[in-house]
């Protein structure tokens, strides 16, 4: 099957800053794909190349198998939901939504009908005559969605779509976007710096760092089998142990990552069950998070491991801060990383 | 003492604000608007034909004279035609410059352009007008430029145009038009650049993303959002042209303009009511223009 979107060795530099460094990527039709990374990692540049707002210095962009590297945005079958929504302030909500049809010279009657349908899809039918300034953040977001979808694109690009919304609204919109994508069956590509968002919505995630893709995997794959220390600590939080300490614990000098929730706190003395790996340290402090607590245990001068501990009713009480403890985990739970 | 005053003012917002506003309002009200209304009131006064003295006797005779005497109507029409032409030309010339300043220039280039646009305003207005008379003179640099380029025929052809032409650029309406456009261009560029700067780049990208070609994006997004700036700039260029009396008296054909008429009627001719009636014309025209601009939605994007 032809990829909906393909990047081949795409590079882009701004002056001396390399924003994208020979990135190759294939996104399948109908996929919900996330570009995840910290700011300046190249994820937004990548999206802009796909939308056509920017051209790569070298490499190619293909849509549906066709090279569109030099095709301007208005001739690409791709639509974008902008981070600041970019609604036209001098047009009503309905006019904003119908804009894509207007510039394609679709008749007014047809335009009105389809704009009304799109507004119904995002449940804003009562707001058609309002101006964008009269809408809340979540409503603007939905207008931007309706406007981007009216041309029936094969690919929808979303640039930090939920960044400006508050927490509760963000969670609602996550579910709404996911549902919308499944109903429409088109490819969604979204940029985010929020790993939780990427994990909960995307089918696959490309993790960007310093202009390159560090790892491209399913959310579960990223979380359970991070390949590099960057991915391990950026996606979820992981304890990364390297150098002499890693060798001391595992007997190999490759760095490894262990998730906080997979570590068990045991008394410093006493026998260790067969097969567990362990490291001794000092309990420095405990942060209570409600459902769980975060314990920080110092192993040596450079290493502070974080342990998540479920706050269930039967949990044994923790020793006081400053006590010596032993951290233990199953060898299979530790993920070996590329050094 | 100061603390006691501050404490007294704290919480008495209305009093505080009126205290701050009173002096400027007094100034604006009495000196500025007051004198303007005094002048306008003159336009309704009669003039004694024999002694040429203003008699405080309300009459519409001056206005009748303004709208019925063909010479006066000509002056108004000539001035309005020039103001409209200058405004349109300023808009057309200013748009690309303002667009470049607002959207494409880097910080250094932008500063250079802002200084460049405003620099001519730092020098004397009279110096510039007289400089232009020399530039546009029969043996001036413009004529010389056309000659060097072997295009004298083009210039002659332009000067042969009826009404706007003349013996040389400096003694034709064409030359006057050029000087007006030069003079008022900064007043169009600055508000236009400010308006364009407020248009986020993402709106233009969104338009292109939805399938609009550059021309469509310009018509549907850039132009409507720049309209308040264009309207503000055009009020400047339009009213400045309507009221100016120096440029028409230094450069151009001998036909009278409103400003010259006001100057002459209140000075040498001593017909203050007619001068006042002439100065009402630009006020009424600007009022009409603003109403029309508002009706057309020029300020909707504000």
**Complete DSSP assignment for B207-252:** HHHTT--HHHHIIIIIHHHHHHHHHHHHHHHHHHHHH--HHHHHSS
Question: CB neighbours of B103 closer than 8 A, spacing ≥ 6?
Answer: B196, B197, B201
Say whether B208 and A53 touch across the interface (CB within 8 A): yes
Q: What residues of chain A, 191 to 220, have a C-beta less than 8 Å from chain B?
A: none
B297 contact residues in A (CB cutoff 8 A):
90
Could you give the ipTM of this predicted complex? Answer: 0.85
* pTM of the model as a whole: 0.81
B213 contact residues in A (CB cutoff 8 A):
74, 103
Give me the CATH code for the A5-226 domain, please.
3.40.50.300
**Complete DSSP assignment for A168-222:** HHHHHHHHHHHHHHHHH--EEEEEES-HHHHHHH-SEEEEEETTEEEEEE-HHHH
**From CA B114, how far away is CA B252, in angstroms rounded?**
30
A84 contact residues in B (CB cutoff 8 A):
200, 202
**From CA B248, how far away is CA B173, in angstroms rounded?**
9
Mean pLDDT on A203-210: 95
Judged against a pLDDT cut of 90, whether residue B122 lies above it is answered with no
> Confidence band (pLDDT; 50, 70, 90) for B302?
low
Query: Using an 8 Å Cβ cutoff, are A128 and A93 in contact?
Result: yes
A88 contact residues in B (CB cutoff 8 A):
203, 206-207, 220-221
- pLDDT tens for A250-305 read 888 889 999 999 998 888 887 788 888 888 889 998 888 888 889 999 988 788 89
Selecting from A53, A72, A90 the residue whose C-beta is nearest the C-beta of B300 gives: A90
Selecting from B212, B221, B224 the residue whose C-beta is nearest the C-beta of A74 gives: B212
Selecting from A52, A74, A148 the residue whose C-beta is nearest the C-beta of B213 gives: A74
Assess A99–B contact: CB distance below 8 Å, yes or no. Answer: yes
> Considering chain A, what is the average pLDDT of its residues?
90
Assess B223–A contact: CB distance below 8 Å, yes or no. Answer: no
Residue of A177, A220, A169, A171 lying closest to A199 (CA atoms): A220
Selecting from A82, A104, A151 the residue whose C-beta is nearest the C-beta of B206 gives: A82
Selecting from A53, A72, A151 the residue whose C-beta is nearest the C-beta of B210 gives: A151
Mean pLDDT on A50-74: 94
Options 1.10.1330.10, 3.40.50.300, 3.30.420.40, 2.40.50.140; CATH of A239-336: 2.40.50.140
Judged against a pLDDT cut of 90, whether residue A85 lies above it is answered with yes
* Higher-scoring residue by pLDDT: B301, A327: A327
For chain A, domain boundaries: 5-226, 239-336
Selecting from B206, B208, B225 the residue whose C-beta is nearest the C-beta of A90 gives: B225
CATH top-level class for B70-295? mainly alpha
> Confidence band (pLDDT; 50, 70, 90) for B85?
very high
**From CA B128, how far away is CA B122, in angstroms rounded?**
11
Assess B222–A contact: CB distance below 8 Å, yes or no. Answer: no
* The dihedral formed by the CA atoms of B181, B182, B187 and B193, expressed in degrees to the nearest 10: 100
The top-scoring range by mean pLDDT among A86-95, A266-275, A307-316 is A86-95
Say whether B210 and A79 touch across the interface (CB within 8 A): yes
pLDDT for B183 = 94
pLDDT for B47 = 81
Q: How far apart are the first and last CA of chain B?
A: 44
Assess B162–A contact: CB distance below 8 Å, yes or no. Answer: no
Name the closest residue on chain A to residue B216, using Cα atoms: A103
Judged against a pLDDT cut of 60, whether residue B301 lies above it is answered with no
CA distance A96 to chain B (A): 10
pLDDT for B300 = 65
pLDDT for A269 = 82
- pLDDT tens for A148-173 read 999 999 999 999 888 778 888 888 88
Name the closest residue on chain B to residue A48, using Cα atoms: B205
**From CA B105, how far away is CA B114, in angstroms rounded?**
11
Judged against a pLDDT cut of 60, whether residue B165 lies above it is answered with yes
Say whether B225 and A73 touch across the interface (CB within 8 A): no
For chain B, domain boundaries: 2-43, 70-295
> Quick one: what percent of chain A has pLDDT higher than 90?
60
Q: How many CB pairs under 8 A join A and B?
A: 68
Instruction: Say how many C-beta atoms besides its own lie within 10 A of residue B194's C-beta.
Output: 17
Mean pLDDT on B252-273: 84
**From CA B240, how far away is CA B250, in angstroms rounded?**
16
Mean pLDDT on B58-81: 89
CA distance B261 to chain A (A): 42
Name the closest residue on chain B to residue A156, using Cα atoms: B209
Judged against a pLDDT cut of 90, whether residue B111 lies above it is answered with yes
pLDDT for A22 = 94
Judged against a pLDDT cut of 70, whether residue B288 lies above it is answered with yes
A99 contact residues in B (CB cutoff 8 A):
207, 210, 212, 220
- pLDDT tens for B190-239 read 999 999 999 999 999 999 999 999 999 999 999 999 988 998 899 899 98
The top-scoring range by mean pLDDT among A23-27, A125-129, A307-311, B271-275 is A23-27
Buried b (16+ CB within 10 A) or exposed e, B31-66: eeeeeeeebeebbbbbbeeeeeebeeeeeebbeeeb
Assess B219–A contact: CB distance below 8 Å, yes or no. Answer: no
B206 contact residues in A (CB cutoff 8 A):
80, 82, 86-88, 147
Instruction: Say how many C-beta atoms besides its own lie within 10 A of residue A52's C-beta.
Output: 23
């Amino acid at each position: 099957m032809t990829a909906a979107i393909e990047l081949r060795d795409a590079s882009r530099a701004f002056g001396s800053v390399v924003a994208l460094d020979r990135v190759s990527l294939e996104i399948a039709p109908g996929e919900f794909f996330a570009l995840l990374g910290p700011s300046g990692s190249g994820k937004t540049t990548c999206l802009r190349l796909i939308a056509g707002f920017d051209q790569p210095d070298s490499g190619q962009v293909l849509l549906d198998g066709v090279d569109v590297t030099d095709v301007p945005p208005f001739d690409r079958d791709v639509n974008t939901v902008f981070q600041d929504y970019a609604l036209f302030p001098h047009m009503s909500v309905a006019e904003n939504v119908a804009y894509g049809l207007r510039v394609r010279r679709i008749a007014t009657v047809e335009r009105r009908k389809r704009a009304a349908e799109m507004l119904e899809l995002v449940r804003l039918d009562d707001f058609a005559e309002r101006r964008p300034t009269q809408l809340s953040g979540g409503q603007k977001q939905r207008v931007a969605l309706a406007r981007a979808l009216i041309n029936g694109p094969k690919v929808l690009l979303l640039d930090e779509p939920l960044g400006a919304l508050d927490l509760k609204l963000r969670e609602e919109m996550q579910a709404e976007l996911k549902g919308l994508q499944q109903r429409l069956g088109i490819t969604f590509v979204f940029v985010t710096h929020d790993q939780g968002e990427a994990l909960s919505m995307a089918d696959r995630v490309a993790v960007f760092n310093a202009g390159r893709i560090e790892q491209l995997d399913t959310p579960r794959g990223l979380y359970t089998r991070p390949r590099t220390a960057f991915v391990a600590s950026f996606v979820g939080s992981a304890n990364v142990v390297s150098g002499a300490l890693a060798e001391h614990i595992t007997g190999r000098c490759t760095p490894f990552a262990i998730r906080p929730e997979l570590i068990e706190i045991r008394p410093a003395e006493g026998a260790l069950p067969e097969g567990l790996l362990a490291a001794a340290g000092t309990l420095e402090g405990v942060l209570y998070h409600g459902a769980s607590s975060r314990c920080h245990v110092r192993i040596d001068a450079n290493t502070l491991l974080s342990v998540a501990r479920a706050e269930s009713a039967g949990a044994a009480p923790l020793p006081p801060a400053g006590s010596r403890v032993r951290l233990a985990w199953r060898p299979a739970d530790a993920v070996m990383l590329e050094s | 003492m100061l603390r006691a005053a501050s404490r007294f003012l704290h919480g008495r917002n209305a009093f505080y604000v009126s205290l701050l506003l009173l002096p400027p309002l007094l100034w604006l009200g009495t000196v500025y608007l007051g004198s303007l209304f005094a002048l306008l009131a003159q336009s309704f006064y009669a003039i004694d034909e024999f002694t040429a003295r203003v008699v405080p006797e309300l009459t519409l005779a001056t206005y009748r004279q303004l709208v019925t005497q063909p010479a006066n109507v000509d002056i108004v029409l000539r001035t309005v035609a020039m103001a409209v032409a200058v405004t349109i030309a300023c808009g057309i010339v200013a748009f690309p410059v303002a667009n470049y300043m607002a959207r494409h220039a880097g910080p250094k280039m932008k500063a250079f352009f802002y200084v460049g646009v405003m620099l001519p305003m730092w020098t004397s207005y009279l110096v510039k007008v007289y400089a232009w008379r020399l530039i546009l003179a029969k043996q001036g640099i413009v004529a010389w430029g056309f000659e060097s380029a072997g295009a004298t025929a083009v210039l002659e052809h332009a000067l042969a145009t009826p009404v706007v032409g003349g013996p040389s650029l400096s003694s034709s309406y064409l030359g006057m038009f050029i000087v007006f456009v030069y003079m008022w261009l900064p007043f169009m560029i600055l508000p236009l650049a400010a308006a364009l700067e407020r248009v986020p780049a993402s709106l233009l990208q969104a338009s292109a993303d939805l399938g609009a070609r550059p021309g469509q994006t310009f018509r549907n997004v850039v132009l409507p959002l720049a309209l308040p700036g264009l309207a503000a700039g055009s009020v400047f260029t339009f009213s400045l042209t309507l009221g100016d009396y120096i440029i028409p008296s230094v450069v151009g054909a001998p036909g009278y303009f409103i400003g010259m008429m006001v100057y002459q009627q209140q000075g040498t001719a001593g017909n203050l009511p007619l001068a006042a009636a002439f100065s009402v014309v630009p006020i009424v025209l600007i009022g009409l223009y603003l109403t029309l601009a508002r009706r057309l939605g020029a300020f909707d994007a504000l």
